[in-house]
């Protein structure tokens, strides 16, 4: 009819793109609210929520203001939240010890949310020290015989174990070590089991890159950190190293593994998904959020369409779960479809 009769094209993939229902029928990937994990920040010592300058629309919450956010996530069908704590500056020390204090901000937030919402949503706690140390590194520092200062791997792991137990005790369903220390998963699994928390799961940040996309997160947690984390987080140039890290974490007992950031590392998400016997998560991080927000604010891109396209791409690459600042809002968009 419309085609040139002299053009002999029996195979026409466009037939399956002819209408919305046809495209929906043949879609290979379907992002659902339950795939999304809402990331939330809770800050000590503030009376009302503080908007994060480099992450418009995201807030440092109080213990009171975080509860309605969790309710909104539940109502939208989001299956989990991932919680970060921001302590008062005067509570930070070189070891980050307020991280495992029962009355530390993160543990209080976990307890309040678990008390209020029980099993209605999975509470994932971030299990890392950088928000709690005065130097901003992910563990205590040590100096070697040659004067080289770096994070003390084994001391950091010991602290993560204390932190994980305190989070389990407060009511976290899942702990998520993001420090990239060697042996952290095996040690944490053993520590949780010994303390009677064998039912608490571990979401391992397995392939976490030393990424500039984390920039805005430093605002979000009020970090004074300068420098880099290249002696513990991975080199963006590497691929095999991620597969090795994920394999080690699975062997050590990780219940879920994660790739972070997401959109610049879709190949890694795919490859880990191809061999992982456990669910794979990806973290659409602060800088990925901020770039979409900034361009959308200029009117240069369609905010909702780009956000959903990014999340769909991450899901298509293989991530079952996506940690994102868009979770609740995106779930709302998906529910309207």
208 is an active site residue:
yes
Nearer to ligand PBG, 7 or 183 (CB): 183
Nearer to ligand PBG, 49 or 177 (CB): 177
In the bound complex, what is the minimum distance in angstroms from residue 214's beta carbon to ligand PBG? 4
Nearer to ligand PBG, 287 or 318 (CB): 287
> Pick the catalytic residue: 72, 208, 230, 304?
208
3-state helix, strand, coil in the chain (%, to 5): 45, 20, 40
In the bound complex, what is the minimum distance in angstroms from residue 128's beta carbon to ligand PBG? 4
Report the DSSP beta bridge partners of residue 100. none
> Pick the catalytic residue: 92, 169, 230, 260?
260
Report d(CA 289, CA 54) in Å as an integer.
9
Strands 141-143 and 149-151: antiparallel
User: Can you give the binding site for ligand PBG, defined by CB under 6 A?
Assistant: 128, 130, 138, 178, 214, 217, 229, 285-286
Looking from the CA of 181 toward its CB, the CA atoms found within 13 Å total 30
In the bound complex, what is the minimum distance in angstroms from residue 73's beta carbon to ligand PBG? 17
Looking from the CA of 284 toward its CB, the CA atoms found within 13 Å total 32
Closest CA to 328 of 52, 123, 37, 125: 37
Report d(CA 167, CA 153) in Å as an integer.
21
**Residue 320 · residue 35 · CB < 8 Å:** yes
Nearer to ligand PBG, 214 or 326 (CB): 214
In the bound complex, what is the minimum distance in angstroms from residue 130's beta carbon to ligand PBG? 5
For the annotated catalytic residues, the residue numbers are 208, 260
């Amino acid at each position: 009819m419309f085609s040139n009769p002299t053009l002999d094209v029996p195979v026409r993939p466009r037939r399956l793109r002819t209408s919305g229902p046809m495209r929906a029928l043949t879609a290979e990937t379907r992002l659902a609210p339950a795939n999304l994990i809402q990331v939330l920040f809770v800050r000590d010592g503030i009376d009302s929520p503080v908007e994060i300058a480099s992450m418009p629309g995201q807030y440092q919450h109080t213990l009171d203001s975080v509860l309605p956010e969790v309710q909104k996530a539940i109502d939208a069908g989001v299956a989990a939240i991932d919680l970060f704590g921001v302590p008062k500056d005067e509570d930070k020390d070189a070891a980050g010890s307020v991280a495992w204090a029962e009355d530390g901000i993160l543990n209080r937030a976990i307890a309040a949310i678990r008390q209020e919402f029980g099993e209605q949503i999975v509470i994932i706690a971030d299990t890392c020290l950088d928000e709690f140390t005065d130097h901003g590194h992910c563990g205590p520092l040590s100096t070697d015989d040659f004067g080289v200062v770096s994070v003390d791997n084994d001391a950091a792991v010991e602290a993560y174990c204390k932190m994980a137990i305190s989070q389990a005790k407060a009511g976290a369903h899942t702990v998520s070590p993001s420090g990239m220390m060697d042996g952290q998963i095996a040690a944490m699994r053993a520590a949780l089991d010994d303390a009677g928390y064998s039912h608490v799961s571990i979401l391992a940040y397995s392939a976490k890159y030393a990424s500039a996309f984390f920039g805005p997160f430093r605002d979000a947690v009020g970090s004074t950190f300068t420098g880099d984390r290249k002696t513990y987080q991975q080199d963006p140039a590497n691929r095999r190293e991620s597969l090795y890290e994920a394999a080690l974490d699975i062997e050590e007992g990780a219940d879920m593994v994660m790739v972070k950031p997401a959109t610049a590392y879709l190949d890694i998400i795919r490859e880990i998904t191809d061999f992982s016997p456990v669910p794979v998560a990806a973290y659409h991080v602060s800088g990925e959020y901020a770039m979409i927000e900034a361009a959308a604010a200029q009117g240069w891109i369609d905010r909702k369409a780009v956000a959903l396209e990014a999340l769909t791409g991450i899901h298509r690459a293989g991530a079952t779960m996506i940690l994102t600042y868009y979770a609740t809002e995106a779930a709302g968009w998906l529910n309207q479809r």
